[in-house]
Amino acid sequence: MDIQTFAQAHQTKFGSNIEFGMAEKVGPDHCPEVTVEVHTRFGSFVGTGSNKKFARAEAVKDAAASENCPF
């Protein structure tokens, strides 16, 4: 599930938006690892990737795969 679809489903179900926590970047510039946290009404989930976009997508993917995810 992509970020937009997940955010829309969350808004419809709970009446609130998802929120992303601060991105943390570690590693050299040519090979960084970015960590982002997504906060939902049913928990917080962490994603990592080579940039913020990929890290956010991974966090949402983990949230959607959670047993607590209602959609």
Would you list the DSSP string of the chain?
Answer: --HHHHHHHHHHHHSS--EEPPPEEES-TTS-EEEEEEEETTEEEEEEESSHHHHHHHHHHHHHHSTT---
Residue 51 to residue 45: CA distance in whole angstroms? 17
Which CATH number applies to 3-65?
A: 3.30.160.20
pTM given for the model? 0.93
Residue 29 to residue 43: CA distance in whole angstroms? 31
User: pLDDT tens digits for the chain (71 residues)?
Assistant: 999 999 999 999 999 999 999 999 999 999 999 999 999 999 999 999 999 999 999 999 999 999 999 99
pLDDT (0 to 100) of residue 35: 98
